[in-house]
């Protein structure tokens, strides 16, 4: 069983969560209280179930503890604050250090939040309506992405059987998931712009209001005939304005207006049923309460409740080995540092 020592917050915590849920023995060093706006219980259940927790501020003790670990997952607010720990002298086979901008480069000591990194990475500029301010993502997606990349990098290093120091930049985690945006600029001189929910190159793709909510449609050319059947507007199939995707792009406003009227008085459930029957890609915009009750996720037994977790539900990992579900994790428990990995 791998021994993982975790020091940090959301990124390190998410990396440790992935290790813990896959059978590793994770010890989390709790050093300070969570931000005032965060629920400590929610954080503990989501990020830290299945881990042991030690309370320690002594770097000498932590250095000694690291010598008994297989991996160190360390997260800090800047390069200098990370290097101040003297991690280069910690005798641990694998170390990953997560900072906003990495351990090198002119911005290595800049401070940043997830939303700042999304803005600096170009994502924010691509999100929202063209005539309004750009939009940012809520939550801790950037930190969790950094934790995922840390988990991947550590497992890759384990497979290579090499002692490795791994440097992870949260900004580069944003850029690594920028799809083909930068490639489009480099190869085709095309800059992706904000276009709201309307995907410019595939029409119709947009959000449409219905009787009791919203649905999102993404109709690539091979689904056009089925979409016409779904809309129950057979005249569209012979309308020359909508014969090809290029023509639908040219006449997108008119087509979106037709679809808006066609779905306005239908319920979400009716539209979902018709979309399933016609086999087109349509998603109902669901509330979290609806997501928790989704029969598909329930059938796959996706939600898990930590042992002694008061029946609260949280997401399982999105992959399984040989179709088997992992047992629910224990709620994190405190342990004295002297008792960790003894013997």
What are the start and end residues of each CATH 3.30.1540.10 domain in the chain? 205-285
Supply the pLDDT for residue 123.
83
pLDDT-derived band of residue 102, with 50, 70 and 90 as boundaries? very high
Q: Residue 18: how many CB atoms within 10 A of its CB?
A: 20
CA distance 292 to 289: 5
Segment 205-232, tens digit of pLDDT:
999 999 999 999 999 999 999 999 999 9
What are the strands of the beta sheet with 333-334, ordered from one edge? 164-169, 94-99, 71-75, 3-7, 25-30, 52-55, 333-334
What are the start and end residues of each CATH 3.40.50.10540 domain in the chain? 3-179+327-339
Look at 13-22, 93-102, 303-312, 328-337 and tell me which has the smallest mean pLDDT.
Answer: 303-312
Segment 187-207, tens digit of pLDDT:
766 677 788 888 778 999 999
CA distance 273 to 266: 11
- Level-2 CATH architecture, domain 205-285: 2-Layer Sandwich (3.30)
**Superfamily of 3-179+327-339 according to CATH:** Crotonobetainyl-coa:carnitine coa-transferase; domain 1 (3.40.50.10540)
Segment 48-73, tens digit of pLDDT:
888 999 988 889 999 999 999 999 99
- C-alpha torsion angle, residues 48, 53, 57, 62 (rounded to 10): -100
Tokens 């939550």, located at residue: 139
CA distance 325 to 194: 40
- Chain-centroid distance, C-alpha 282: 22
Segment 8-53, tens digit of pLDDT:
999 999 999 999 988 899 999 987 666 555 667 777 788 888 899 9
Residue from 98, 4, 103 nearest 54 by CA: 4
Instruction: Collapse the DSSP code of 207 into the 3-class scheme (helix H, G, I; strand E, B; otherwise coil) and give the result.
Output: strand
Segment 306-325, tens digit of pLDDT:
765 566 788 888 888 888 88
Higher per-residue confidence, 61 vs 183: 61
State the Cα angle at 174 between 173 and 176, rounded to 5°.
60
Instruction: Collapse the DSSP code of 334 into the 3-class scheme (helix H, G, I; strand E, B; otherwise coil) and give the result.
Output: strand
């Amino acid at each position: 069983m791998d021994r993982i020592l975790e020091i940090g917050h959301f990124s390190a915590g998410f990396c440790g969560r992935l290790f813990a849920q896959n059978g590793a023995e994770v010890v989390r060093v709790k050093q300070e209280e969570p931000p005032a706006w965060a629920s400590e219980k929610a954080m503990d259940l989501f990020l830290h179930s299945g881990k042991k927790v030690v309370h320690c501020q002594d770097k000498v003790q932590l250095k000694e503890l690291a010598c008994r670990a297989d991996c160190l997952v360390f997260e800090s607010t800047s390069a200098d604050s990370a290097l101040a720990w003297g991690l280069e002298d910690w005798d641990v086979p694998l170390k990953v250090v997560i900072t906003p901008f990495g351990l090198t480069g002119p911005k290595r000591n800049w401070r940043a939040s997830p939303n700042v990194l999304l803005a600096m990475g170009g994502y924010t500029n691509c999100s929202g309506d063209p005539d309004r301010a750009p939009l940012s993502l809520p939550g801790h997606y950037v930190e969790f992405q950094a934790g995922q990349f840390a988990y991947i990098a550590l497992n890759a290093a384990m497979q290579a059987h090499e002692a490795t120091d791994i440097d992870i930049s949260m900004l580069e985690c944003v850029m690594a998931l920028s799809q083909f945006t930068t490639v489009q600029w480099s190869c085709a001189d095309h800059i992706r712009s904000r276009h709201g929910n309307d995907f410019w190159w595939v029409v119709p793709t947009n959000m449409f209001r219905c009787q009791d909510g919203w649905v999102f449609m993404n109709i690539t050319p091979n689904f056009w005939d089925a979409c016409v059947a779904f809309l129950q507007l057979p005249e569209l199939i012979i309308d020359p304005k909508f014969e090809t995707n290029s023509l639908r792009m040219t006449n997108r406003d008119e087509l979106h207006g037709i679809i808006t009227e066609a779905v306005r008085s239908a319920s979400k459930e009716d539209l979902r049923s018709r979309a399933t029957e016609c086999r087109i890609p349509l998603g109902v915009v669901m509330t979290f309460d609806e997501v928790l009750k989704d029969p598909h996720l329930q059938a796959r037994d996706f939600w898990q409740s930590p042992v002694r977790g008061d029946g609260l539900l949280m997401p399982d990992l999105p992959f399984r080995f040989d179709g088997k579900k992992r047992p629910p994790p224990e709620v994190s428990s405190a342990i004295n540092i002297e008792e960790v990995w003894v013997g």
